Structure 1
Amino acid sequence: MAMQIQTGTSELKDVTKMERIGAHSHIRGLGLDDRLEPRQNSQGLVGQAKARKAAGMILKMVQEGKIAGRAMLFAGPPSTGKTAIAMGMAQSLGQDVPFTMIAASEVFSLSMSKTEALTQAFRRSIGVRIKEETELIEGQVVEIQIDRSLTGATKTGKLTIKTTDMETVYDLGTKMIESLTKEKVLAGDVIAIDKTSGKVTKLGRSVAMSRDYDAMGADTKFVQCPEGEIQKRKEVIHTVSLHEIDVINSRTQGFLALFAGDTGEIKPELRAQINTKVADWREEGKAEVVPGVLFIDEVHMLDIECFSFLNRALESELSPLVVMASNRGMARIRGTKYKSPHGLPVDLLDRVLIVSTKPYEEEDIQQIIQIRCQEEDVSLTPDALTVLTSMSKQTTLRYALNLISCGRVLARKRKSENVDVEDLRRAYTYFMDEKRSVQWLKEQQGTLVFEEVGVEGRKDEVMDTD
């Protein structure tokens, strides 16, 4: 909502919410139709039809709860949309299925061991859908009567609620009066009160009061007056992750650690107890386990100990679907002197479904640039779009996308709304891409600090160390 702030004498400015435009903020889903066939350009994703279809098939199985404890690897060159497809999966899953996204280097933290960091990521990705019955009082408020004592310390009152079939008067205590006041409940509102917790939820305003203009706001929602009895039993479903249950039951931390983020290491005995309890709830029909998705980006940055842990963790009963991404070819496995495809050990690769992504075609690149221009609210001239597309083929797609916002700044400087070829050329001279940076280093001829010249053997030796 816009807010007016006075700065100085009579200058007024509109302060609106600040929009954060990220590298993948344009992605809304996987862009698949009902038959899981990929559209050419949909929901922010372009091209990579095979990879998107594979992700959609896996996603369908996750939503049906038919796949868990499996691993999947997106392998392809940089700037081919591996992380973008993972973000599309996260958007398509919905709120009820947990999705955790980590970079492999996050595991190497000083605050906890590598295996603890991976265990917490695994348990964040498994949801527990807990069902419980609660008693609700639901109806339309006919009248609220509040009486205060002479000192104002104590409050008593009566609340009259009705449905289409019956009407009841309830006596109110101080806490209930405060809850109703906080929710700004008036006569004519339709409310629901949870009897166990005393929580008051305002469902909307009764349709019968739609002509009462004095009590209406811009966002007033009208609902029908409830039918049947005022007091009803309803089944309420809460979805929490296993990690949240771990933290809440950890005596040293408590539930406040969920907000602080500093959960620390959790004892394995506690986790074993929670697993047993969840298994009991499943047998009794009180809870349902929802395996989600854990996405590990730049997975080649994990070391041999982490890979060994992943092998074991994927076989456990409570395990999510693990999706990994790597842009390495034949690379050394961290912590060893052996090389392996994608930097992953062969025994882990044997368990993994590998999906390859390939470099984008020129037509796809042009559509991606147009999508990013819409997201960043930038207008490119047709010539500038052609130049930027060819520039991305010569350099990289990421470099070309970075020049969009730089070009807008230069266009505004010459008081133009559209970014033209001239702006992109100037931005190209200001910022170097990787190839020109390497060329510039060669031209310096050893003038940079700590640069080794003509010691090829030493360079190879440095590269081979961990």
Structure 2
Amino acid sequence: MATTITTGTAEVRDITKMERIGAHSHIRGLGLDDRLEPRGNSQGMVGQAKARKAAGMILKLVQEGRIAGRAMLFAGPPSTGKTAIALGMAQTLGSDVPFTVITASEVFSLSMSKTEALTQAFRRSIGVRIREETEIIEGEVVEMQIDRSLTGATKTGKLTIKTTDMETIYDLGTKMIDALAKEKVTAGDVISIDKTSGKVSKLGRSFARSRDYDAMGADTKFVQCPEGEIQKRKEVVHTVSLHEIDVINSRTQGFLALFAGDTGEIKPELRNQINSKVAEWREEGKAEIIPGVLFIDEVHMLDIECFSFLNRALENELAPLVIMASNRGMARIRGTKFRSPHGLPVDLLDRVLIVSTQPYQAEEIEQIIKIRCEEEDVTLSEAALNVLSTMATQTTLRYALNLISTAQTLARKRKSAQVDVEDLRRTYSYFMDEKRSVEWIKQQQGFLVFEEDLQAEPDADVVMDQS
């Protein structure tokens, strides 16, 4: 029995992004030039030259489709830009190459098995670029005449379309009349109609109607009247992820299941059918596989079963580039008694390219603070900038960045346009950093509830053999 695989490519989703200031909303890319050399301060990235160049080289290989099924690890202390570099890679790749971000701990909080959650993340990171030929009608609307029956139940009509070379009259049915009405098509509009799906797209208004001031709004787009034949064949390219194809074919409601949230577990038999169908499309030249990127943050939170799955999944024919991030040194592998570098098993570490990130220098910290102030629309005085940079060196960069918006609140309270040293001092007194918090806990020794001295037994940890 022949299996029909649905891709849902005919559905166009228009999602309006909500502008929001986040921890990494200032990142626009990796800040590399054409020779993949890192600039000092570019696209929101500062410092970490070696790590950014390594990421740029990997990115080049991803774009050429030469590094699928590999893995790399960003390892470094907290607040050294590991997640920022990964998000910079996502910005550089663009929307056509799938980039999936997950945190290792979320694998354990989903209502499905760990391996299923990782499988879905893997398949979200693999794109399928599908090429198909479709017949379209494209031209300028000369006249649209709609006739209604006496009861109003049925509608018929005629549509006159022209190009620079020819003019044709088409008979319209009820569905096509509704589609044209939905797009608010009027005489003088340049439209495109997909004959297979009946989808109507309004390309703009003809330049011949540019003097028709009554019909022109502020956002009206004027286009030239199309040339040549009215009916023409056109190649349409759709890009979907393997996971989207899985969901569409595993649910009765089709593509609407993508918006339902929890998609549940998908049968391996269905995935095998989809893989074989995609392989057929590749052989016929209808489809092309785009290996994307899967970024797993805090990867040391995965357990030994997940690491074993990753080892096997990376050898699969359909595997993306897996980028991991960890801030651990020698740490216990979750689910075992063994300790290993970065909390990853040695056999997985042997597969990955490890990129280290270094703590930021004082000048780099100052530049990062300036970038964040621009992102958050905060004006710092010169003295306040020096104090905040020193504070970041003595405490942590994240703590200093968190003080920017809180200090601005205090500055607004005293009706000042810029944040001064006094605002930072008051904020510093309100919010403790990690070192002062530890000191305070020591002072409160014996007063806090349920204090316990948890000392790990020295023989509880077995150091993994590195040979």
Paired residues in the alignment total 445
* Structure 1 unmatched ranges of 5 or more: 1-16
- Flag the 1:252–1:164 CA change in 2: closer, same or farther, 3 A: closer
Q: Are 2:80 and 2:360, in contact at CA under 8 Å, matched by a contact in 1? A: yes
Residue number in structure 1 paired with 2:4: none
Please state whether the residue corresponding to 1:133 is helix, strand or coil.
strand
Q: Are 1:247 and 1:253, in contact at CA under 8 Å, matched by a contact in 2? A: no
- Give the TM-score taking structure 2 as reference length: 0.93
Shift of 1:35: 1.3
Structure-to-structure mapping, 1:76-95, within 5 angstroms: 76-95=76-95
Residue number in structure 1 paired with 2:430: 430
Residue number in structure 2 paired with 1:131: 131
Shift of 1:38: 1.0
Distance 1:75 1:177 in 2: 59
Structure-to-structure mapping, 1:158-177, within 5 angstroms: 158-177=158-177
- Flag the 1:354–1:240 CA change in 2: closer, same or farther, 3 A: same
1:405-437 residue CA offsets vs partner (Å, 9 max, x unmatched): 000000011110100000000000000000000
* Structure 2 unmatched ranges of 5 or more: 1-16, 462-467
Distance 1:280 1:463 in 2: 56
Shift of 1:212: 1.3
Residue number in structure 2 paired with 1:223: 223
1:165-200 residue CA offsets vs partner (Å, 9 max, x unmatched): 100000111111111111111111110000011000
Q: Given the alignment, which residue of 455, 459, 465 partners 1:459? A: 455
Distance 1:383 1:389 in 2: 10
1:28-64 residue CA offsets vs partner (Å, 9 max, x unmatched): 1111111111111111111111111111111111112
Tell me whether 1:388 sits opposite 2:388 in the alignment: yes
Residue number in structure 2 paired with 1:359: 359
Distance 1:222 1:461 in 2: 76
Tell me whether 1:24 sits opposite 2:24 in the alignment: yes
Structure-to-structure mapping, 1:255-334, within 5 angstroms: 255-334=255-334
Structure-to-structure mapping, 1:186-201, within 5 angstroms: 186-201=186-201
- Flag the 1:275–1:225 CA change in 2: closer, same or farther, 3 A: same
Q: Are 1:253 and 1:263, in contact at CA under 8 Å, matched by a contact in 2? A: no
Distance 1:254 1:193 in 2: 24
Shift of 1:461: 4.6
Decide which moves more: 384-393 or 19-28. 19-28
Q: Are 1:128 and 1:241, in contact at CA under 8 Å, matched by a contact in 2? A: yes
Aligned-partner residue type, residue 356 of structure 1: S
Please state whether the residue corresponding to 2:133 is helix, strand or coil.
strand
Shift of 1:273: 1.0
Distance 1:424 1:448 in 2: 29
Shift of 1:153: 1.8
Q: Are 2:251 and 2:257, in contact at CA under 8 Å, matched by a contact in 1? A: no
Tell me whether 1:114 sits opposite 2:114 in the alignment: yes
Decide which moves more: 377-386 or 251-260. 251-260
- Flag the 1:55–1:193 CA change in 2: closer, same or farther, 3 A: same
Distance 1:377 1:399 in 2: 18
Q: Are 1:73 and 1:355, in contact at CA under 8 Å, matched by a contact in 2? A: yes
Residue number in structure 2 paired with 1:247: 247
Distance 1:361 1:383 in 2: 19
Q: What is the Cα-based RMSD across aligned positions, in Å? A: 1.5
Distance 1:156 1:267 in 2: 47
Shift of 1:463: 12
1:368-424 residue CA offsets vs partner (Å, 9 max, x unmatched): 101111111110000000000000000000000000000000001111010000000
Q: Are 1:248 and 1:255, in contact at CA under 8 Å, matched by a contact in 2? A: yes
Shift of 1:213: 1.3
Please state whether the residue corresponding to 2:84 is helix, strand or coil.
helix
Aligned-partner residue type, residue 50 of structure 1: K
Aligned-partner residue type, residue 338 of structure 2: Y
Distance 1:318 1:249 in 2: 19
Residue number in structure 2 paired with 1:74: 74
1:236-275 residue CA offsets vs partner (Å, 9 max, x unmatched): 1111111111111114674322101111011111111111
Distance 1:327 1:290 in 2: 30
Structure-to-structure mapping, 1:373-412, within 5 angstroms: 373-412=373-412
- Give the TM-score taking structure 1 as reference length: 0.93
Aligned-partner residue type, residue 146 of structure 1: I
Aligned-partner residue type, residue 359 of structure 1: P
Aligned-partner residue type, residue 306 of structure 1: C
- Flag the 1:159–1:253 CA change in 2: closer, same or farther, 3 A: closer
1:268-290 residue CA offsets vs partner (Å, 9 max, x unmatched): 11111111111111111111010
Please state whether the residue corresponding to 1:355 is helix, strand or coil.
strand
Seq. identity, %: 84
- Flag the 1:451–1:462 CA change in 2: closer, same or farther, 3 A: farther
Q: Are 1:76 and 1:326, in contact at CA under 8 Å, matched by a contact in 2? A: yes
1:186-232 residue CA offsets vs partner (Å, 9 max, x unmatched): 11111000001100000111112111111111111111111110000
Tell me whether 1:346 sits opposite 2:346 in the alignment: yes
Q: Are 1:156 and 1:174, in contact at CA under 8 Å, matched by a contact in 2? A: yes
- Flag the 1:310–1:90 CA change in 2: closer, same or farther, 3 A: same
Residue number in structure 2 paired with 1:96: 96
Aligned-partner residue type, residue 211 of structure 1: R
